[in-house]
Amino acid sequence: MSRVRKIDHVAVAVRDVDEAVARFRKLFGIEPVARELVASQHTEAVLLPIGESHIELIAPRGNAGLERFLDKRGPGLHHIAIEVRGLGEVLAALRALGVELIDQTPRVGARGHHVAFLHPGAAGGVLIELVEPAPEP
Amino acid sequence: MSRVRKIDHVAVAVRDVDEAVARFRKLFGIEPVARELVASQHTEAVLLPIGESHIELIAPRGNAGLERFLDKRGPGLHHIAIEVRGLGEVLAALRALGVELIDQTPRVGARGHHVAFLHPGAAGGVLIELVEPAPEP
């Protein structure tokens, strides 16, 4: 059985979060449901809900990799986050397959979720984040 | 009320569709639900289901823009498709707002759906496709 549940979010790299929020409001009438400084990733993140998923606007707040992305490509699609059941087991299975991981074990990302990134080379050029919501307290 | 329903798909530009299908099968156990030569877009497209959405693998079959994308950036995230209610009305509203559209009116895309692309400049560097399923025959 697949452990894949849904697309949690599609991340868009932006320089100006407020401008991007205003743009998506104008285009589609979408209002943010969350805005957060994500200390572990050195980013600011805003979530725009679409169905069971979100567009996540991310701007660097000390994240050198994201700064380089913006310098090189400009604003645009950055990564896709897939919600899975049992993130630890999924990472172990991927490691056993020889898949290159950026995060060997889950860490805490936006919304307190457990997250781990695969190396873009592992998914044919696509940066993939795996996400599992933290258990309810 | 928002006319936005869900993320229909996130498109990933690839050179080798078979290799990409095998890769997503290995990584996540996902099997394609559709494979199609999309004449109107000069692409080959494969849909991989994830929750209510899909990853769409697209390879050029005469699409010069997609060839250029692959030459310049390599395989990777290409566009995001949002399902809307009333695509014609949505396009008219966007035009009235001065939003730059690639397709002024809906055309037929993969799965026979009605589709229209916004200019990437309209969404801050993100290529957005709007999609509305064709009415049942």
Q: What are B25-82's pLDDT values in tens digits?
A: 999 999 999 999 998 889 999 999 999 999 999 999 999 999 999 999 999 999 999 9
Beta strand A76-84 pairing with A128-132: parallel
ipTM summary value: 0.94
Q: What are B68-116's pLDDT values in tens digits?
A: 999 999 999 999 999 999 999 999 999 999 999 999 999 998 888 999 9
Inter-chain touch A7–B76, beta carbons under 8 Å: no
Beta strand A107-108 pairing with A34-38: unpaired
Inter-chain touch B53–A51, beta carbons under 8 Å: yes
- Tens place of pLDDT per residue across chain A (137 aa): 579 999 999 999 999 999 999 999 999 999 999 999 998 889 999 999 999 999 999 999 999 999 999 999 999 999 999 999 999 999 999 999 999 999 999 999 888 899 999 999 999 899 999 999 987 76
B7 reaches A (C-beta below 8 A) = yes
Which residue is closest to A55 within chain B, CA to CA?
A: B7
Long-range contacts of A57-62 (CB under 8 A, 24+ apart): A57/A11, A57/A12, A57/A14, A57/A17, A57/A20, A57/A21, A57/A24, A58/A11, A58/A12, A58/A13, A58/A14, A59/A13, A59/A14, A59/A15, A59/A16, A59/A17, A61/A37
Q: Which of B24, B76, B94 sits opposite A27 (nearest CB)?
A: B94
Q: Which of A3, A50, A77 sits opposite B77 (nearest CB)?
A: A77
Mutate to test the interface with A, among B1, B18, B77 (most CBs of A within 10 A): B77
Q: Rounded to a whole number, what is the distance in Å from the CA of B123 to chain A's nearest CA?
A: 7
Inter-chain touch A7–B7, beta carbons under 8 Å: yes
List B101's β-bridge partners, or say none: B118
- In CATH terms, the superfamily for domain A4-132 is 2,3-Dihydroxybiphenyl 1,2-Dioxygenase, domain 1 (3.10.180.10)
B 59-78 residues with CB < 8 A to A: 73-78
Tokens of B58: 């697209």
Q: Which pLDDT value is given to residue B8? A: 98
Percent of chain B with pLDDT over 90: 88
Q: Which pLDDT value is given to residue B137? A: 66
Q: Which of B19, B20, B125 sits opposite A76 (nearest CB)?
A: B125
Inter-chain touch B50–A126, beta carbons under 8 Å: no
d(CA A3, CA B18): 22
d(CA A131, CA A113): 7
Tokens of B9: 């798909």
